A = this chain, B = another copy of it.
Amino acid sequence: MGTPQLAQQPEPKYWHLKTVLSAALDSEFSVGQALPNERALAARFGVARATLRQALDQLELEGRLQRRRGIGTTVAPPRVGVDVGPGALDGPGGPGDAWTTTGWAREPAPPAVAEALGLPRREPVEAVHRLLTSHGLPVATERLFVPAALLPERPGAAAPRPAASGEQRGLDLLGRLRAQGPDGQDRSVELGSAGAAEARRLDQLPGAPVLLVTTRYARAGRVLAVSLATYRADTCRLTFGGGDAPRAGEAAAVSVE
C-alpha cells in the first residue's frame, strides 16, 4: 500500500469559521446589513463565544465587518481610498481639501521627531493638530510638529494675538510652513495601535489598529517640520501618486491567499 496521506493537522476552528463567514458575507449579506449577535452565531456554529470572536476579530481587521458596542455587528463598506500624495499640507486656506485644523499646543516632541528636527529629545515644540474626515466620518488625525523658530513670520500676515484660539495659531503656523515651500518629503508607513486620545478623536476603541504615516518636510536639506498622522486601518486605504489607484478587490486581495 502506498504512503498514507500525511495526517493533515486540523485547521483551527476560528480559521475555518472565518472562511465560512467570509463566504457568507460575499453571497448572502449586503453592505450595512446586521449580523446575528455573537451569542447566536456561536451557538449556530457550535463553538464558544470566544472562538467566534477570534474569527470576527480577523474579519474586522480586514475591514469586512464593523462592530459597535451596544449596537451590533454590520457588514462594512469597502475601504475608502485616502490620498497621501504630495499634497499633504492641504487644508482650509490651502489647495484642495478636507483636513481641518482643530488646535494647537506646545508639547514635547517624540524621540523620532526631535531627532529629525535636530532638537533635544522631549523638547517642547509647536504642534498643529488636524483631523481628516471623509463623508463626514473621521479617518485620520495628525500632529504636525513645526518649530516656530524655524519659520519666519509672514510679512503680509498679521501675527495671531496672544489671545488667539488654538485654531488660529495652528493656521498661522501652517501658513508660515506653506510659505516656505518645502521642496522635499520623506514618508513612511507602519502599523500601530491607537492610543486613548487618538481613539477618541477617530471614534474607535483604544488599541484599534491604525496606519502610522510619518512625513518629513524639508527645504534645501533642512527639515522644517515632521508630521505624525494616524489613519484608521479598518476604514482606510492609503493611496500614493494619483487619486485613482487600484482597489484591492473584495475578499480575494484583502485576505491574501
Contacts and interface: CB of A to CB of B under 8 A. Distances in A.
A168 interface: no
A252 B185 contact: no
Contacts of A226: 246
Query: A interface, how many residues as a size bin?
Result: 35 or more
25 contacts: A61-B193, A62-B192, A81-B188, A111-B252, A115-B247, A186-B239, A186-B241, A186-B245, A188-B239, A188-B246, A188-B247, A189-B211, A190-B233, A190-B236, A190-B237, A190-B238, A190-B254, A191-B191, A192-B254, A192-B256, A193-B256, A195-B255, A198-B257, A214-B253, A216-B245
A198 B248 contact: no
Given A253-B110, A253-B214, A188 B61 contact: no
Contacts of A210: 256
A170 interface: no
Contacts of A245: 186-188, 214, 216
Interface of A: 15, 18, 58, 61-63, 79, 81, 110-113, 115-116, 184-198, 206-207, 209-212, 214, 216, 226, 228, 230, 233-234, 236-242, 244-250, 252-257
B228 A63 contact: no
A204 B49 CA distance: 26
